[in-house]
Structure 1
Amino acid sequence: MRSRTALIVAASVLAVVVLSVALAPWISPYPPAQQSLAERLAPASPTHWLGTDHLGRDTLSRLLEGGSFSLAVACAATLLTAALGTAIGVVSARRRGWIDEVLTRTSDVLLALPEMVIALFVVAVLGAGPVSLLLALAVTGWTPFARLARALAYDVSSRGFVEAARVLGCSPSFVVFRHILPHLSGPLLGQAALRFGQFLIAVGALSYLGLGVQPPQSDWGSMLASAQPYAARSPLGVLAPGLVIFTVALCVTLIGQHLAALAGLRTLLSLAPSRRGSDV
């Protein structure tokens, strides 16, 4: 019961944040880049619900604008790494032999390297920007998907219906798309939700270091960096983007854990008939 309540709350909060960011051009009280030096570092008020920054820009408007970049990069990185990692994992499990060995050892090496250090190196080489951030997250981000997909594909490939499809002359691509990938979708969806939260925090960290969007555009990480020197005078400038990053990451992680639990239960139920049959 508690897990269901937490799931409903997390999904509701996440839906509100995503909808607010999507409608930002229409619901933002002020243009995000509009400056008013006479109102710099103003506290929360009916005219500025979250106050203003050191240039007099409305914090709420910039928070809504910055969410589109942070969420878009995290979502794109999740989709890219999930597709790449799943493809590598399935190919490794199906081909086996030296292909499996090379792909597995490659993922092991990348897993041993700190993701943030690799991301910093990639962005430093390619320069700041959304494409650089996306590539930096994708360099090592595909490895958890690949290992999970490989393990699951190994298990599904040994099942009787896959062997029957092969004996009947079905093509390898048909077997993969019709029999293997549907059994991988649940666990991989849960993994994707968990990775999205990690990518969102990584995007915020890289933007905090000045490797994300460039002024006058904003995202949640850059807002943290620009507001930090004035945290004593205007704490909302730091608290607002920090709490949004934390809240969205927490909500997506809770949803991912629930999806992963459901996927595990589904896998156990799908294996139950074959176990009973083998016992007979």
Structure 2
Amino acid sequence: MVKRIKEEIGKKWKMEEGGDVSHFLGIKITRDREEKTMDLRQTSYIKQLLDEHLDKRRRKSSVPLQNVPAPETAASTAERKENPQIVGKLLWLSNGTHPDISQAVGEQDFLTVHSDANWASDATTQRRSSSGSAVFVHRNLVAWKSALQRCTALSAVEAEFVAATEATQEVLFFRHLFKAIGIDVGIPTILSDNTGTIQVSKDPAQHWKLKHIDTKYHFIRDNIQDGNVKIKYIGTEDNLANIFTKPVGKEAL
């Protein structure tokens, strides 16, 4: 069968017989025909990764990963620039030969979306709110949105809830896109500066507060319960979606 496929390909494109493959995209391939096994390793890639990004004195650790990793409180400009490179390389490693580090790499919040709303910002008689979102692939802005909501929110929490639902749809699109090309980005994170929205999104018991809202806006709650997304609090001054819902002034910029 393999021979027939090679013949068909050879009819359309020029091919050279190079023998058994030993390396492919940085993966070392060792085949044992007698045992009918194939071994895949990225030892050289890991060594190169360590040499580039990790000091030799810090390489050994008796604890692979804390149960709850401590958040990064301060990082230099050089470290913020280097970190996305490291995570990208670790993602390639986890998708290649080391699925055992997938969870640890996923803790880095590779895919996030900032969500915000400005309640009743429309000055017309409709008094509708505005939604804003900003999607980041490891701190790199890849998509953004600023638009009036299609429903009239009765409170700031409702407006933020609708905005968070719209942000959920956007970030899940990118998760599915990465999955289609073989990249596991973990669980996307929605960042909101409204604690009420976070509460009603997580707790089904709070359903009565927003049961009058169109069912499509409860999309976020279902996906949080199913483990497809997670929602966290972010301070208003750090919410990068603010710029898409209201004038923020030169100080914020």
RCO comparison, higher one (Cα < 8 Å, 6+)? 1
TM-score (norm 1): 0.30
TM-score (norm 2): 0.32
